Amino acid sequence: MRNTVIVLLFLLIATAPAWAQDKKAVPTHVPEGTSKTFRANQEWNYAQAYRTGNLLYISGTVAAGPMDKAMDQVYKTLQATLKQYNLDFTHVVKENLYTTNMDETAKHKDVRKKYYGTHTPAATWVQIVRLLEPNTVLEVELIVEIKKTE
Protein backbone atom coordinates (compact mmCIF):
# COMPACT_ATOMS: atom_id res chain seq x y z
CA MET A 1 0.00 0.00 0.00
CA ARG A 2 2.80 2.39 0.91
CA ASN A 3 4.51 1.74 -2.45
CA THR A 4 1.26 2.45 -4.29
CA VAL A 5 0.88 5.78 -2.49
CA ILE A 6 4.48 6.71 -3.28
CA VAL A 7 4.00 5.86 -6.97
CA LEU A 8 0.78 7.88 -7.16
CA LEU A 9 2.41 10.88 -5.46
CA PHE A 10 5.35 10.65 -7.84
CA LEU A 11 2.99 10.62 -10.85
CA LEU A 12 1.11 13.61 -9.47
CA ILE A 13 4.29 15.60 -8.88
CA ALA A 14 5.85 14.59 -12.19
CA THR A 15 2.85 15.74 -14.21
CA ALA A 16 2.01 18.85 -12.16
CA PRO A 17 4.02 21.26 -14.36
CA ALA A 18 1.96 20.24 -17.38
CA TRP A 19 -1.27 20.97 -15.52
CA ALA A 20 0.00 24.34 -14.40
CA GLN A 21 0.62 25.51 -17.99
CA ASP A 22 -3.03 25.90 -18.90
CA LYS A 23 -5.62 26.63 -16.24
CA LYS A 24 -8.57 25.95 -18.60
CA ALA A 25 -10.17 22.55 -18.20
CA VAL A 26 -11.90 21.22 -21.27
CA PRO A 27 -15.63 20.69 -20.93
CA THR A 28 -16.20 17.81 -18.56
CA HIS A 29 -17.53 14.67 -20.15
CA VAL A 30 -19.17 12.30 -17.66
CA PRO A 31 -19.56 8.94 -19.39
CA GLU A 32 -22.88 7.13 -19.23
CA GLY A 33 -22.95 4.58 -16.41
CA THR A 34 -20.44 6.48 -14.26
CA SER A 35 -21.28 6.18 -10.59
CA LYS A 36 -22.66 9.05 -8.54
CA THR A 37 -19.36 9.30 -6.67
CA PHE A 38 -17.54 10.18 -9.85
CA ARG A 39 -20.33 12.38 -11.22
CA ALA A 40 -19.74 14.72 -8.29
CA ASN A 41 -16.94 16.59 -10.06
CA GLN A 42 -17.35 19.70 -7.93
CA GLU A 43 -17.34 17.69 -4.72
CA TRP A 44 -14.19 15.76 -5.71
CA ASN A 45 -12.68 18.71 -7.60
CA TYR A 46 -11.62 16.90 -10.76
CA ALA A 47 -12.43 16.81 -14.46
CA GLN A 48 -13.03 13.65 -16.47
CA ALA A 49 -10.74 15.13 -19.11
CA TYR A 50 -8.31 18.02 -18.96
CA ARG A 51 -6.52 19.57 -21.91
CA THR A 52 -3.25 21.40 -21.66
CA GLY A 53 -1.49 22.36 -24.86
CA ASN A 54 -1.28 19.35 -27.17
CA LEU A 55 -2.18 16.80 -24.48
CA LEU A 56 -5.46 15.50 -23.08
CA TYR A 57 -5.37 13.83 -19.67
CA ILE A 58 -8.30 11.46 -19.13
CA SER A 59 -9.05 10.69 -15.50
CA GLY A 60 -9.24 7.13 -14.29
CA THR A 61 -12.29 5.29 -15.59
CA VAL A 62 -13.52 2.47 -13.36
CA ALA A 63 -15.66 -0.66 -13.57
CA ALA A 64 -16.84 -3.49 -11.35
CA GLY A 65 -17.80 -7.10 -12.03
CA PRO A 66 -15.96 -9.96 -13.69
CA MET A 67 -12.67 -8.71 -15.12
CA ASP A 68 -13.47 -9.38 -18.80
CA LYS A 69 -16.69 -7.37 -18.55
CA ALA A 70 -15.04 -4.67 -16.42
CA MET A 71 -12.25 -4.28 -18.99
CA ASP A 72 -14.71 -4.02 -21.86
CA GLN A 73 -16.76 -1.43 -19.94
CA VAL A 74 -13.71 0.67 -19.06
CA TYR A 75 -12.33 0.72 -22.61
CA LYS A 76 -15.78 1.37 -24.10
CA THR A 77 -16.18 4.35 -21.75
CA LEU A 78 -12.68 5.61 -22.61
CA GLN A 79 -13.54 5.24 -26.29
CA ALA A 80 -16.63 7.42 -25.76
CA THR A 81 -14.54 10.05 -23.96
CA LEU A 82 -11.96 10.04 -26.78
CA LYS A 83 -14.76 10.40 -29.33
CA GLN A 84 -15.97 13.57 -27.55
CA TYR A 85 -12.67 15.12 -28.68
CA ASN A 86 -12.65 13.52 -32.16
CA LEU A 87 -9.86 11.17 -31.06
CA ASP A 88 -9.37 7.42 -30.87
CA PHE A 89 -6.99 4.95 -29.20
CA THR A 90 -4.26 5.64 -31.80
CA HIS A 91 -3.84 9.04 -30.12
CA VAL A 92 -3.04 7.49 -26.73
CA VAL A 93 0.61 7.96 -25.75
CA LYS A 94 0.43 6.62 -22.16
CA GLU A 95 -1.90 4.33 -20.26
CA ASN A 96 -1.92 3.70 -16.51
CA LEU A 97 -3.95 0.68 -15.45
CA TYR A 98 -4.76 -0.16 -11.83
CA THR A 99 -6.27 -3.54 -11.06
CA THR A 100 -7.20 -5.47 -7.96
CA ASN A 101 -6.24 -8.74 -9.68
CA MET A 102 -3.34 -8.72 -12.14
CA ASP A 103 -3.71 -12.40 -13.06
CA GLU A 104 -7.34 -11.88 -14.14
CA THR A 105 -6.43 -8.69 -15.97
CA ALA A 106 -3.65 -10.42 -17.90
CA LYS A 107 -6.00 -13.27 -18.87
CA HIS A 108 -8.22 -10.77 -20.69
CA LYS A 109 -5.57 -8.72 -22.51
CA ASP A 110 -7.40 -9.48 -25.78
CA VAL A 111 -10.23 -7.22 -24.61
CA ARG A 112 -7.72 -4.35 -24.46
CA LYS A 113 -6.26 -5.28 -27.85
CA LYS A 114 -9.75 -5.02 -29.35
CA TYR A 115 -9.62 -1.27 -28.70
CA TYR A 116 -5.95 -0.54 -29.40
CA GLY A 117 -5.51 -2.80 -32.42
CA THR A 118 -1.85 -2.67 -33.37
CA HIS A 119 -1.20 0.67 -31.61
CA THR A 120 1.27 0.29 -28.73
CA PRO A 121 1.33 3.24 -26.31
CA ALA A 122 3.59 3.34 -23.28
CA ALA A 123 1.81 1.58 -20.43
CA THR A 124 2.08 0.87 -16.72
CA TRP A 125 -0.02 -1.82 -15.08
CA VAL A 126 -0.19 -1.94 -11.29
CA GLN A 127 -1.99 -4.28 -8.90
CA ILE A 128 -3.49 -2.50 -5.90
CA VAL A 129 -5.46 -3.53 -2.83
CA ARG A 130 -8.58 -1.53 -3.73
CA LEU A 131 -9.91 1.46 -5.60
CA LEU A 132 -11.99 4.36 -4.25
CA GLU A 133 -15.27 2.52 -4.75
CA PRO A 134 -14.96 -0.83 -2.93
CA ASN A 135 -16.62 -2.96 -5.65
CA THR A 136 -14.54 -1.69 -8.56
CA VAL A 137 -11.83 -4.00 -9.91
CA LEU A 138 -10.20 -1.86 -12.59
CA GLU A 139 -9.26 1.76 -13.28
CA VAL A 140 -7.55 3.05 -16.42
CA GLU A 141 -6.32 6.58 -17.09
CA LEU A 142 -4.89 7.92 -20.34
CA ILE A 143 -2.61 10.62 -21.65
CA VAL A 144 -3.56 11.45 -25.21
CA GLU A 145 -1.75 13.45 -27.89
CA ILE A 146 -4.31 15.60 -29.66
CA LYS A 147 -2.22 16.61 -32.66
CA LYS A 148 0.27 14.03 -33.88
CA THR A 149 3.86 15.29 -33.79
CA GLU A 150 5.40 12.35 -35.67
Extents of the domains making up the chain: 2-145
Residue-averaged pLDDT of the chain: 80
The pLDDT > 90 percentage for the chain reads 61
- CATH placement of domain 2-145: 3.30.1330.40
pLDDT at position 96 is 98
Q: What is the 3-state secondary structure (H, E, C) of the chain?
A: CHHHHHHHHHHHHHHHHHHHHCCCCCCCCCCCCCCHHHHCHHHHCCCCEEEECCEEEEEEEEEECCHHHHHHHHHHHHHHHHHHCCCCHHHEEEEEEEECCHHHHHHCHHHHHHHHCCCCCEEEEEECCCCCCCCEEEEEEEEEECCCCC
Residue numbers in the chain where pLDDT is lower than 50: 4-40
